[in-house]
Amino acid sequence: MPIDHFSFTNNITFRLRYLINTESFKSNGPIFFYTGNEGDVEGFAKNTGFMWDIAPEFSAAVVFAEHRFYGKTQPFGNNSYAKVANLGYLSSEQALADFVELINYLKNERIPFAKNSPLIVFGGSYGGMLAAWMRTKYPHVVDGAIAASAPVFWFRNSHIPEDIFDRIVTRTFVNSGCSLKNILAAWRSIQLLAKTDNGRTWLNNKFKIEEKSKLIEESDAKALIGFAKEAMESMAMVDYPYEADFLSPLPGWPVKEACKFFNKANLNGDKESAEQIYKLLNLYYNSTGKTETLCVKPDKCSGAYAALGDPLGWPWQACTEMVMPQCSSGPPNDFFLKDCPFTLDKFTQDCLATFNYTGYTPGLMRPDFVINNYGSRFPTATNIVFSNGYLDPWSGGGWRLYPTTKGTLVSLIVEDGAHHYDLRGSHPNDTSSVKEVRNLEKLHISRWIREAKRANKRHLKISKKNVNKVPF
Amino acid sequence: MPIDHFSFTNNITFRLRYLINTESFKSNGPIFFYTGNEGDVEGFAKNTGFMWDIAPEFSAAVVFAEHRFYGKTQPFGNNSYAKVANLGYLSSEQALADFVELINYLKNERIPFAKNSPLIVFGGSYGGMLAAWMRTKYPHVVDGAIAASAPVFWFRNSHIPEDIFDRIVTRTFVNSGCSLKNILAAWRSIQLLAKTDNGRTWLNNKFKIEEKSKLIEESDAKALIGFAKEAMESMAMVDYPYEADFLSPLPGWPVKEACKFFNKANLNGDKESAEQIYKLLNLYYNSTGKTETLCVKPDKCSGAYAALGDPLGWPWQACTEMVMPQCSSGPPNDFFLKDCPFTLDKFTQDCLATFNYTGYTPGLMRPDFVINNYGSRFPTATNIVFSNGYLDPWSGGGWRLYPTTKGTLVSLIVEDGAHHYDLRGSHPNDTSSVKEVRNLEKLHISRWIREAKRANKRHLKISKKNVNKVPF
């Protein structure tokens, strides 16, 4: 794969990893292609059972492509993250072009009898954005896209409220039985306890806080609250109806489980109030009972998203092209501490702190790139399903917050669905709304495949005609 | 403008030149935007009178954008062409992204009351490809495109016969009254004369060949014939019905003029036969009577296309992304000496010879880039007019060789038109077919503007709705 598809300043190439299964594939059957995300592709292959489930009935090949600079796809090996001159090639447009090259290779060389195969892309979250953008930018390569939980509009000047993420987190928790009052009280109690030595000692012990990240001064309350916030945000994302292990191993309906801790009508002082949060953290980080301590300061030990691998990859994208304004506006909009407004200045400072070591400079941040490049509307796109879960905080930036159809662009809402729930494999506990959405998705995929086959035939005919009918 | 829109390995920026005229512009009127070509933008502004002609009735602003690395837009000043590390940023995708940035700047900062202006792109030849690709890749930025004489399919695997260019040149000359027999005889005579010292001396004197490029051995006949071929190809391109100065100053219907030299029924020997070619060359290079000598070896003195400026720019693009297979298959298909088939090996050798000095390596050539990136079909594109002239050899690679409509993609043929004749300003000698095509183009432009205004209104409404209707 060329490291740079759009300039010709070097001809460095690298190997891009992909997983492939052609067991169900029959001649000219479709290729189901997952547009990999900000992490090792194996995790996505495991958590995207939908593609595997439906491959046999469509006689489809299943492919999972790893995104450059994630998992085992490190273009410069151990130096991939070392400096701007290397890491700079981690960008969404380059990734899309990788996928196009891979698709051409698969169709023409890797998979026999796939030359005219319809190509359907699937993706969730950032991968969902890539799936949608594949169809808008390369409609001659991709016949249709399932873009699940893809916050394609979560950028500047696209009119997404910057606090919508935490509004939805709050809605999911409150609708799952959490007492808003208790959660607000818990933050207050943590802050009060953190004011004294005794209180901090109690917090450090109670929360089993790792040595390196112990609370030592009053302001450390913020770190603990921030840590709990991240857990709650993640839990809203993975609020599936059954045991699952996406960001962390969790029981079914984890938010409802957590909310059981937040229901006591009369709390007995700050310690009992704060303890509710500990129970939630223990559920999120220690449902298996094996975690012994919590690291509440991600810069001191290890962060919440380390599970996805390449912990600096997404921050790099966020500090260059994927600038997604996000903050909490506090009660009554959400139940977190207010840190709105989001400002580019503050964000740039964070980026400098993180990436100074690479030679990063603020000029590398292009906060308007995504909207300029991919658009805040899709005037000519067709054959995309945007699916979003009502429980999922990312749904706030998806295409339409309600079910709708515009031409062949479709917005589907999984009423009791979390983050790309529809992409998961079928499960006995599946809700009726996810089953319905998956069935609709299958209908759209069938139509796209039919259309693609017709178009391919027509195209071949026209090409032959052109060859024979030279106008001289 | 960032030098690299798609990676983040540096934050070098440069200034992109554009010409602007807002005399006719009224609030929210359209912007007519020319997507500049492989040359100084001023030449295109002078030869694209159509945009100027229709701007007043549309209350439009007129903008001509210069393509990076051409004209005065040299991102690295005098070193722009010095080495791969600089010249590598000369690419079509980077140029499109430049235009998007420029458009956003024009709408939001440079032109007052243009924030919601419809944006129509115009381009001819390579600029026409860019116009079409702007609409396919950036439909959220560009509302419609007039892509004149744009050979968008002139690449590998798109089923364009590699000899179609010279077939059409031949057709244009024969249909303009040239005797096929006489032209073939002329090549033969030049080859025979070049065999002897006397013959070569006669040719050097007769053709007024510049000292540096004099014929000195038998094989030099090829250089002279190649030189004449280039002139004939260019004349077919600029066969306009009136005096014009695009590639070279010429009388009206220059091919018909030239063909007057090729009509004698019985030629009196090789000299008279060869002289026909001299007369043609004299017409093409010396219609003003001021040119004293001809340089028939472009590597020794100066080539036919030097008039466009930056003579290495287009070859660079051809040696990286714009690999357009082209060759002559000889009689009966065309009246040139056979040099088919086109092979990548031979072409790569030429590229190495030309660009060795920059550090160019064959790995930088990506012969499938254009078709992979932009497609050999446009399954979702809308609002593009592809216009082609029947006299123009480039028409062979345009979208449809006959007038047709597919959705809102339109193919128009100017029956007696040469290279992007429709983009030229109106002239008393204009043919009825060009007038008709321009009128149709105006109708399409009106429709695109109406649609864009409606879509903008709708979009503003939805955006507001999103802001107010947060789902919590």
Q: Are residues A29 and A62 in the same domain?
A: yes
* Nearest neighbour of A84 by CB, restricted to B8, B368, B470: B8
Q: Is the peptide bond before B298 cis (omega within 30 degrees of 0)?
A: no
Q: What pLDDT does A165 receive?
A: 95
Q: Could you give the 3-state DSSP secondary structure of residue B26?
A: coil
Q: Are residues A26 and A122 in the same domain?
A: yes
Query: What is the sign, positive or negative, of the torsion defined by CA atoms of B290, B300, B74, B79?
Result: negative
* Nearest neighbour of A161 by CB, restricted to B84, B366, B470: B470
Q: Are residues A265 and A301 in the same domain?
A: yes
pLDDT digits over A45-74, tens only? Answer: 999 999 999 999 999 999 999 999 999 999
Residue with tokens 């547009």: A35
| Cβ–Cβ contact B7 with A under 8 A | yes
Bridge-based pairing of strands B244-245 and B144-148 is unpaired
Q: What pLDDT does A304 receive?
A: 45
Give which of B93, B5, B467 is closest to A397, Cα–Cα: B467
Q: Is residue B471 part of a domain?
A: no
Query: pTM to 2 decimals?
Result: 0.94
Q: Is residue B64 part of a domain?
A: yes
Task: Tell me which chain A residues have a C-beta less than 8 angstroms from the C-beta of B108.
Answer: none
| Cβ–Cβ contact B366 with A under 8 A | yes
Cβ atoms of B252 and B243 closer than 8 Å: yes
The mean pLDDT value for B327-332 works out to 94
A85 contact partners, CB below 8 Å, separation of at least 6: A359, B9, B10
* Catalytic residue chosen out of the listed positions A67, A419, A420, A444: A419
- Widest Cα–Cα separation across chain A: 94
Q: Are residues B190 and B328 in the same domain?
A: yes
Task: Tell me which chain B residues have a C-beta less than 8 angstroms from the C-beta of A93.
Answer: 5-6
With an 8 Å Cβ cutoff, are B378 and A140 in contact?
yes
| Cβ–Cβ contact A17 with B under 8 A | no
Residue B105's alpha-carbon distances to B90, B360, B418, in angstroms, are 22, 34, 35
Q: Is residue A150 part of a domain?
A: yes
Q: State the DSSP code for B366.
A: -
A341-349 long-range Cβ contacts below 8 angstroms, 24+ apart: A341/A162, A342/A162, A347/A319, A347/A323
Q: Is residue B11 part of a domain?
A: no
| Cβ–Cβ contact B460 with A under 8 A | no
Q: In this structure, which amino acid lies at residue A189? A: S
Task: Tell me which chain A residues have a C-beta less than 8 angstroms from the C-beta of B88.
Answer: 7-10
Q: Is residue A3 part of a domain?
A: no
Q: Are residues B390 and B423 in the same domain?
A: yes
Chain B, residues 301-340, CB within 8 A of chain A, namely 320-321, 333-334
Q: Are residues B119 and B174 in the same domain?
A: no
Give which of A200, A238, A236 is closest to A221, Cα–Cα: A200
Per-residue pLDDT of chain A (472 residues; tens, 9 = 90+): 999 999 999 999 999 999 999 999 999 999 999 999 999 999 999 999 999 999 999 999 999 999 999 999 999 999 999 999 999 999 999 999 999 999 999 999 999 999 999 999 999 999 999 999 999 999 999 999 999 999 999 998 888 899 999 999 999 999 999 999 999 999 999 999 999 999 999 999 999 999 999 999 999 999 999 999 999 999 999 999 999 988 888 999 999 999 999 988 888 899 999 999 999 999 999 888 887 888 888 777 765 445 556 789 999 999 999 999 999 999 999 999 999 999 999 999 999 999 999 999 999 999 999 999 999 889 999 999 999 999 999 999 998 888 999 899 999 999 999 999 999 999 999 999 999 999 999 999 999 999 999 998 888 777 666 544 545 5
Spatial distance between the Cα atoms of B140 and A376, rounded to a whole number of angstroms = 7
Active site (annotated) includes residue A392: yes
pLDDT digits over A192-224, tens only? Answer: 999 999 999 999 999 999 999 999 999 999 999
Q: Are residues B186 and B274 in the same domain?
A: yes
Active site (annotated) includes residue A125: yes
Q: Is the peptide bond before A30 cis (omega within 30 degrees of 0)?
A: no
Cβ atoms of A95 and A127 closer than 8 Å: no
Q: Which domain holds residue A57?
A: 18-155+372-463
| Cβ–Cβ contact A465 with B under 8 A | no
Instruction: Decide which of B315, B337, B361 is a domain's last residue.
Output: B361
Q: Are residues A310 and A400 in the same domain?
A: no
With an 8 Å Cβ cutoff, are B470 and A138 in contact?
no
Chain B, residues 58-117, CB within 8 A of chain A, namely 84-91, 93-94, 97, 100-101, 104
Q: Are residues B96 and B226 in the same domain?
A: no
Residue of A98, A99, A472 for testing the chain B interface, max B β-carbons within 10 Å = A472
> Mean pLDDT of all residues in chain B?
93
Active site (annotated) includes residue B163: no
Token pair belonging to A145: 């896209």
Task: Give the CATH number for residue A383.
Answer: 3.40.50.1820
Instruction: Decide which of B306, B339, B361 is a domain's last residue.
Output: B361
Number of domain units in chain A:
2
Give which of A449, A466, A406 is closest to A57, Cα–Cα: A449
A271 contact partners, CB below 8 Å, separation of at least 6: A189, A193, A202, A206
Residue of B1, B6, B10 for testing the chain A interface, max A β-carbons within 10 Å = B6
Give which of A451, A460, A459, A446 is closest to A32, Cα–Cα: A446
Q: What pLDDT does A159 receive?
A: 82
Q: Is residue B470 part of a domain?
A: no
pLDDT at B303 over 60: no
A427 contact partners, CB below 8 Å, separation of at least 6: A241, A242
Q: Are residues B32 and B104 in the same domain?
A: yes
Q: Are residues B207 and B313 in the same domain?
A: yes
Q: Is residue B468 part of a domain?
A: no
Task: Give the CATH number for residue B213.
Answer: 1.20.120.980
Q: Is residue B472 part of a domain?
A: no
Instruction: Decide which of B328, B361, B394 is a domain's last residue.
Output: B361
How far away is chain A from the Cα of B377, in angstroms, using its nearest Cα?
6
Chain A, residues 376-395, CB within 8 A of chain B, namely 376-382, 390
Query: What is the sign, positive or negative, of the torsion defined by CA atoms of B73, B77, B83, B86?
Result: negative
Q: What pLDDT does B304 receive?
A: 45
**Residue B105: is it exposed, middle or buried by C-beta count within 10 angstroms (0-12/13-18/19+)?**
middle
With an 8 Å Cβ cutoff, are A361 and B94 in contact?
no
Q: Are residues B128 and B168 in the same domain?
A: no
Cβ atoms of B4 and A316 closer than 8 Å: no
Task: Tell me which chain A residues have a C-beta less than 8 angstroms from the C-beta of B413.
Answer: none
With an 8 Å Cβ cutoff, are A104 and B368 in contact?
yes
pLDDT at B289 over 90: no
pLDDT at B305 over 50: no
pLDDT classification of B401: cutoffs 50, 70, 90: confident
A309 contact partners, CB below 8 Å, separation of at least 6: A39, A40, A43, A70, A71
| Cβ–Cβ contact A290 with B under 8 A | no
Residue of A nearest to B93 (CA): A6
Q: Provide the β-strand partners of residue B20.
A: B63
Q: Provide the β-strand partners of residue A388.
A: A413
